[in-house]
Structure 1
Amino acid sequence: MTQRRKYEYGHEGQKDAIPYTFRPTRVHSTNGTVANAESLVQPSGPSSRNGSQGATKLSPNSNIILDFGLDVGGYPVFEFIPGTPENTAVIRYTVSESLAALKPGVGDGYPFMGHAGARFRSEAITVSGWGGRWLGTGIQGGQRFILIEHVNGAADVSISEAGFQAVTDVTPMSDLPGSFNSSDDYLNELWITGARTVQLGCASKGSFAPAWHVSAIGTLIESKNIAIHEKSQNWGQIDFSLSLYIVSGSIFTVNKGGQFAPDPGATEFYLTVGRNGTGTFSRYDGSSVDIPEGILSTGKWHNVKFSVRGDSNATMTASIDGVEIGAVSYDGISSSGPFGLSAGSDTAIIVKNLLVRDIDEKTLYFNSLTSQSALEDFATGTNYYGVCFDGAKRDRVVWAGDFSIFGPTIFYSTANTEAVAGSLLLFTGVQDSQGQISSSVLASVIPSEVPTNDWKSSNFYSVIYAISSANAWYEWYQYTGDTRFVNKWWPAIKRDIEYGLSFLDKETALITVEGPAAMDFDYYDGPTPGTHIGANSIVVWALRNAALISDSLGDSVALEYRETADKIEKAVNDRLFSNSTGAYILVDGNNAVGISQDGNAYAILSGIASAPGAPSSAGAIIEAMRMLDTPFGPLSFSNTSRFLPIVSPYASGFHTWAAFEAGMDDEA
């Protein structure tokens, strides 16, 4: 069997259509022996190739940097010209939004999560002498430059096409429904930048290729991204078994436990086929045990079984075809958390008949892995709805907080209501039993109207982001007037608001958050616990927005929402305003922690800063926020010893919005 990603045209569901491909606009530079470099400069468009300029030839140890002229994104695609069949070589591509960050083999960072999005900004490709078309399995988004290097092998490599197969709308800016043109060139460019940003950050239904491929034989997995069973969060100590066939490569990966604590990969375990018929069973950055010779091999079906026992002192035991391999320790890391599978680097596997039981032998899950249900359970299929994610260069994940910035921009530019509705449906259709709506959900998830704590924990983030979900619904209502869609999900929206109010201290009338619930957009700074201006202001904003929706739906809860918002507003103005800064402090009782950009913006947008008897005014707070200014834009926080001194497009978006709300158009 051959890996599906190698040398095939198009993804499933796209074979009858010729996709649009972004191609370079110029050669930036070459190094070493590169012949006919300009051949790769081709017009972008819906064809397999434009023109007939031959091919670019890379000799060993040479490279070429291509410039696309602006940010592009999609599945990387290369067309290799056949050479001598027995000769092979390896090329490596690396992508970056800026030339300065185009570090070979690294690029400009990596996304937080995977699946449709590639986990790394670089990939090595083995090119056979037969040539052919190579199409990547992971989307690379938000890059302008690509570095292509000949890194191994004695044979030259001839490339007739290099680009990215688009998965987003490619409508020219001038043809968009919200197309804007004025006598001010700066405003025109500003609008185009915003429209282009949301265009690259949204995708139509069915545009993502499945990460897994199901057939009557089983499920073919080539993706390195761990696919988590979406509702396995509460699986504790378990036994799980499956049939495994390693097609090529050497590594089969299983995950049991929190994916991102203490760091990505900490709860991943590997079965690895070694040379000379030996192998290992190991944990990421941990211990390992040897697999006896002949027990694990490629090209053969194996029955594998794993047992997870313990929590803080946990181990995972493996057996292959009835032969016990041994136990590997979690080394003090908790085994609590979800279950997932993947293939290792350069590995293709087939799995079937997955059975998961608890320690009392109760069946928690069974799937033959021969039907579409496997893709649905592990969220490894296509995207069943149009979606918008938090940026072209990031993961293919719908983030509720970021959507509050994205949403209004869409209505004024691309008018992609399909993607807005799909995003709302996705994060609202993933809700826990406490009412918290998902803050970060994969585009390939199947939503549900039934709340459950079985959803994997990484679907949820913080109070501020959860409440942002409710505000996003108001934006839909405000811009479309569609109450039918809102009404269907209104019970879930109300549960989300009640979740936010569960943090309300009845004595102080203020929202107080601790632990993970106190996270914000600045994940790199960790949580900011306490009575938080951001959490309080956004809850007031959501309550008032929800009250307006309630009025339209005829729900009497509107009165309660307004009364609660007024009480929190008064408490915020009484306790969280700082006379010394002229703005709202980040956390009650801690003047040293300074002020935040988003928290003060929310205070303006929610109406808190303009309330009767407020200690200041919206305009005065915008003036006070100038203490955040730098030559590169306003910082997110005034305290640069507690918080990284970063200019955030996310927080600055709300800052701009608040400045307009305050009537300070020039400041915006």
Structure 2
Amino acid sequence: MRSFGIALVLAPALAAVCLADNLDKYGVFTPKKIALGFVPSMDGETYSGGFTLTSDAPLATLDYDYEVAGLPYFVVSSVSNGPVDVEVKYAEQFPALSRNHSDGPSQFSTSTANSRRVETHRFSDSDAGPRSPPCSASPASIEVIDDLTSLPGKFSSSNAKYDEIWKLGARAVTAACLDAGSQVPSWSSSEENGTFVPGTRPGISYRTWNLTNYVLNFESQIIRGGAGYTVGYDLTGNRDGIQIHLASEYPSDTTYANINSTLFPASTATLAWGYDFANATSVTSYILGQYDVPFSVKENVWYPVEIRVNSTAGNIVFSIDGHQVFDIVLTEMGFTDDQLSFYGWASRGEGAIGFGGWQDQASYVQNVTVTSLTDSSEVLYSNPMTDESVVVPEFGGQSNPYGACLDGAKRDRYIWLDDFYHTTRIMGVANSKPEQITGTWECLFEYQADYGQLPGFVPISYNRRCPPQRSSFTTQARAMPTTTSQTT
């Protein structure tokens, strides 16, 4: 951070905070304890409704006593010596607050959740007032839920340790179960700028699930920091993928103080295999190469991007604005086939495409076309990216149509069938919301194979039955082993 002296009133809100009706339905949770200092601390005092960050106390640790979920907002009372960059970390476990990525990144998250677990906000002298994701309701009208023990689902015994186990287990699992419509899309589209893509885990197009030997063309505009592009993603198994990150020149007026210029140097393209550019437990990623772009990559400028994929040879060529940046063969990057495979899948470029970004980044994408590598007149896919009603469901970023129970409150945002077996037993006594149980089965049944088998996991933010008619995609997705699971 470049300077200090910012007063904040902090109140993270539950679930779909951007919708006024959901604000009325869920209200907000306020912190219960706060510790001010130089390092994260569990020795907090009672939170009384506001705090000041200064050079003598630049860090605040907020404790909610329970596992809570939602979207945060900040009310800024005053700023001195601004602008100030404030980094916010979210974690389920206290030790994660001392790590660069907190307890993330959560690469199995969809674009309806911030998969980075760390975000930065810039406040200036003129920023007094609410700061939040786009919100249509006044914070003054939001109900504040201060006593979480008043929510449905209680347990009390003569053994205090048993009571704590209840809070850690049964109560915490309720944060993994969602009401229908509670997950808010983070993407948006317009005729003017195409689709806005925040710095989330890439959204993957289900319509491109079986691409092979193709040329991908699109226009990309970096708003802040950089943009991410994915090819060769196995959508039916939610695994593998070739990740490409394009970094801007990092102009001082938009670049945050905590920018990771080591991972992504200015005006470079970084190539990675796996889910992301950083590892998480059992979700391995490898940086394959880093390449200089032969000019300064400007922000707020449209650039044509071309990615040529010869999946037969494992050859990928990346160009921007007519300049070739790299031409590589995946099998010649110094990694073994075992390293560049996941559950037996080793993509050489075949698979789906997607768009995303790294922590705190934002970009636009438009005019996406895919043609055959051997016949440029053969169009395999086309999307101008201007119709939000088409783009958001296709790239897995729509609001969830059913209530559902997921694999943990923060990690996957997927329904895992085997984890649901034990969750459903707890939910009956944890919060008494049977619609979340039945909604989970609704999601599972819509991906059931013709011969009866259920998938190991299903997403919550794609269009139901995608594509609408039964096809190879839905059959393969439904036919996944029911025993597949991961832990992070």
Q: Given the alignment of the two structures, is residue 356 of structure 1 paired with residue 370 of structure 2, yes or no?
A: yes
State the partner residue of 1:283. 271
Q: Given the alignment of the two structures, is residue 373 of structure 1 paired with residue 393 of structure 2, yes or no?
A: no
Query: Aligned with 1:70: secondary structure?
Result: coil
State the partner residue of 1:407. 424
State the partner residue of 1:421. 438
Structure 2: how far apart are the matches of 1:304 and 1:15? 41
Asked whether the 8 Å contact 1:226–1:341 carries over to 2, the reply is yes
What is the CA distance between 1:228 and its match in structure 2? Answer: 0.8
Asked whether the 8 Å contact 2:454–2:482 carries over to 1, the reply is no
What is the CA distance between 1:382 and its match in structure 2? Answer: 1.8
What is the CA distance between 1:192 and its match in structure 2? Answer: 5.9
Identify if the C-alpha distance between structure 1 residues 100 and 345 changes in structure 2 by more than 3 Å, giving closer, same or farther: closer
Paired positions, count = 413
State the partner residue of 2:189. 214
Structure 2: how far apart are the matches of 1:317 and 1:31? 43
Structure 1: how far apart are the matches of 2:219 and 2:442? 35
Structure 2: how far apart are the matches of 1:29 and 1:280? 38
Identify if the C-alpha distance between structure 1 residues 69 and 345 changes in structure 2 by more than 3 Å, giving closer, same or farther: closer
Asked whether the 8 Å contact 2:29–2:146 carries over to 1, the reply is no
> What do the CA deviations read for 1:233-286 (whole angstroms, capped 9, x no partner)?
31112122223232233x2221112479xx98861113333369x934441323
State the partner residue of 1:444. 461
Structure 2: how far apart are the matches of 1:453 and 1:274? 42
What is the CA distance between 1:392 and its match in structure 2? Answer: 1.7
Which of 85, 90, 99 is equivalent to 2:85? 90
* Amino acid corresponding to residue 283 of structure 1 in structure 2: L
State the partner residue of 1:652. none
Q: Given the alignment of the two structures, is residue 341 of structure 1 paired with residue 336 of structure 2, yes or no?
A: no
Query: Aligned with 2:61: secondary structure?
Result: strand
Asked whether the 8 Å contact 1:259–1:266 carries over to 2, the reply is yes
* Amino acid corresponding to residue 208 of structure 1 in structure 2: Q
What is the CA distance between 1:136 and its match in structure 2? Answer: 6.2
State the partner residue of 1:30. 37
Q: Given the alignment of the two structures, is residue 62 of structure 1 paired with residue 90 of structure 2, yes or no?
A: no
Identify if the C-alpha distance between structure 1 residues 300 and 441 changes in structure 2 by more than 3 Å, giving closer, same or farther: same
What is the CA distance between 1:390 and its match in structure 2? Answer: 1.6
More helix by share: 1
Per the normalisation by structure 2, the TM-score is 0.71
Q: How does 1:191-270 map to 2 (within 5 A)?
A: 195-217=170-192, 218-249=194-225, 251-258=226-233, 267-270=242-245
Asked whether the 8 Å contact 1:78–1:133 carries over to 2, the reply is yes
Structure 1: how far apart are the matches of 2:486 and 2:444? 20
Query: Aligned with 1:71: secondary structure?
Result: coil
What is the CA distance between 1:412 and its match in structure 2? Answer: 3.6
Structure 2: how far apart are the matches of 1:88 and 1:439? 48
State the partner residue of 2:337. none
State the partner residue of 2:19. 13
Structure 2: how far apart are the matches of 1:106 and 1:272? 19
Which of 274, 299, 302 is equivalent to 2:249? 274
Query: Aligned with 2:215: secondary structure?
Result: strand
Asked whether the 8 Å contact 1:256–1:267 carries over to 2, the reply is yes
State the partner residue of 1:578. none
What is the CA distance between 1:383 and its match in structure 2? Answer: 1.6
Which of 62, 68, 74 is equivalent to 1:72? 68
Structure 2: how far apart are the matches of 1:369 and 1:172? 42
State the partner residue of 1:292. 294
Structure 1: how far apart are the matches of 2:177 and 2:418? 15
Question: Identity across aligned pairs (percent)?
Answer: 21
Query: Aligned with 2:246: secondary structure?
Result: strand
Identify if the C-alpha distance between structure 1 residues 239 and 453 changes in structure 2 by more than 3 Å, giving closer, same or farther: same
* Amino acid corresponding to residue 273 of structure 1 in structure 2: S
Asked whether the 8 Å contact 2:248–2:267 carries over to 1, the reply is yes
Asked whether the 8 Å contact 1:281–1:328 carries over to 2, the reply is no
Structure 2: how far apart are the matches of 1:363 and 1:202? 41
Asked whether the 8 Å contact 1:114–1:395 carries over to 2, the reply is yes
Q: How does 1:462-541 map to 2 (within 5 A)?
A: 463-465=481-483, 520-521=484-485
What is the CA distance between 1:341 and its match in structure 2? Answer: 0.8
Identify if the C-alpha distance between structure 1 residues 17 and 414 changes in structure 2 by more than 3 Å, giving closer, same or farther: closer
Structure 2: how far apart are the matches of 1:179 and 1:199? 12
Identify if the C-alpha distance between structure 1 residues 279 and 179 changes in structure 2 by more than 3 Å, giving closer, same or farther: closer
**Which deviates more, 279-288 or 401-410?**
279-288
Identify if the C-alpha distance between structure 1 residues 348 and 174 changes in structure 2 by more than 3 Å, giving closer, same or farther: closer
Asked whether the 8 Å contact 1:202–1:389 carries over to 2, the reply is yes
Identify if the C-alpha distance between structure 1 residues 354 and 60 changes in structure 2 by more than 3 Å, giving closer, same or farther: farther
State the partner residue of 1:135. 132
* Amino acid corresponding to residue 329 of structure 1 in structure 2: I
State the partner residue of 1:325. 324
> What do the CA deviations read for 1:480-537 (whole angstroms, capped 9, x no partner)?
xxxxxxxxxxxxxxxxxxxxxxxxxxxxxxxxxxxxxxxx54668xxxxxxxxxxxxx
Gaps of 5+ in 1: 1-7, 43-52, 138-160, 466-519, 525-668
What is the CA distance between 1:180 and its match in structure 2? Answer: 6.3
* Amino acid corresponding to residue 357 of structure 2 in structure 1: A
Structure 1: how far apart are the matches of 2:372 and 2:146? 49
Structure 1: how far apart are the matches of 2:291 and 2:93? 44
Per the normalisation by structure 1, the TM-score is 0.54
